C-alpha cells in the first residue's frame, strides 16, 4: 500500500517534468540593448597618432617586413623605403 502511495505522488511530478522538458520555451520579447542601436565608427586616419619604432635607441617612423626605415616615398604604385 505504501508503495502505491509513493507512485501516486511520483506520477504527477514525472508528468510535470516531462512536459516542462518537451514543451518549447518562449523566447521572451525584450528590447535590444542600447549598444546594439548605436555604433560608433572611428576613422583610423583621424584618430591614429603617428607610430614610431625605437630600434637601438633611434626612432624610426616606418617599419616594413620587420626592417626599420627613416624615410619612404610613393612611386610606381607602391611605397619605397630607405
Question: For residue 58, how many C-alpha atoms fall within 13 Å in the half-sphere facing its CB?
Answer: 7
Q: How far apart are the first and last CA of the chain?
A: 97
User: pLDDT of 26-55, one tens digit each?
Assistant: 655 666 666 655 666 666 655 566 778 887
Residue 10 has pLDDT above 70, yes or no: yes
User: pLDDT of 58-74, one tens digit each?
Assistant: 888 888 888 888 899 99
Going from N- to C-terminal start, the domains of the chain cover 52-76
Amino acid at each position: 500500500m505504501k508503495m502505491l502511495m509513493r507512485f501516486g505522488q511520483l506520477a504527477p511530478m514525472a508528468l510535470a517534468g516531462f512536459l516542462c522538458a518537451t514543451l518549447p520555451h518562449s523566447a521572451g520579447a525584450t528590447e535590444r540593448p542600447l549598444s546594439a542601436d548605436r555604433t560608433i565608427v572611428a576613422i583610423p586616419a583621424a584618430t591614429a597618432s603617428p607610430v614610431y619604432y625605437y630600434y637601438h635607441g633611434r626612432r624610426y617612423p616606418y617599419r616594413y617586413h620587420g626592417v626599420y626605415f627613416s624615410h619612404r616615398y610613393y612611386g610606381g604604385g607602391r611605397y619605397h623605403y630607405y
